[in-house]
Amino acid sequence: MKAKEIREMSIKDLEERIEAEKHNLSVTKMNHVISPLDNTSVIAKSRRDIARMITILEERKKAENK
């Protein structure tokens, strides 16, 4: 997911999306332990997307408090 797409989302949508992505990441990790994934870069990409969303969310919250 691109940063531009994330910035277009509302704060509430962003929080919900972060929780959903965290859940999907944990499920993907468990599936990888049981049977190895063909493309393990999916895990790293998911982690980066979550971090990107959290960063943008924190920027927005900081901007609202000012």
How many Å from the N-terminal Cα to the C-terminal Cα in the chain? 28
Residue 22: Cβ-neighbour burial (10 angstroms; 0-12, 13-18, 19+): middle
In this prediction, residue 1 has a pLDDT band, given cuts at 50, 70 and 90, of confident
Tens-digit pLDDT profile for residues 34-49? 999 999 999 999 999 9
Output the pTM of the full model: 0.90
pLDDT in the model for residue 66: 82
Q: Is the pLDDT of residue 54 over 90?
A: yes
The CATH code of the domain that includes 38 is 1.10.287
- The Cα diameter of the chain in Å comes to 48
What is the rounded average pLDDT of the residues 48-60? 96
CB atoms within 10 A of CB 49: 19
The domain of 57 spans 3-65
The structural domain count of the chain equals: 1
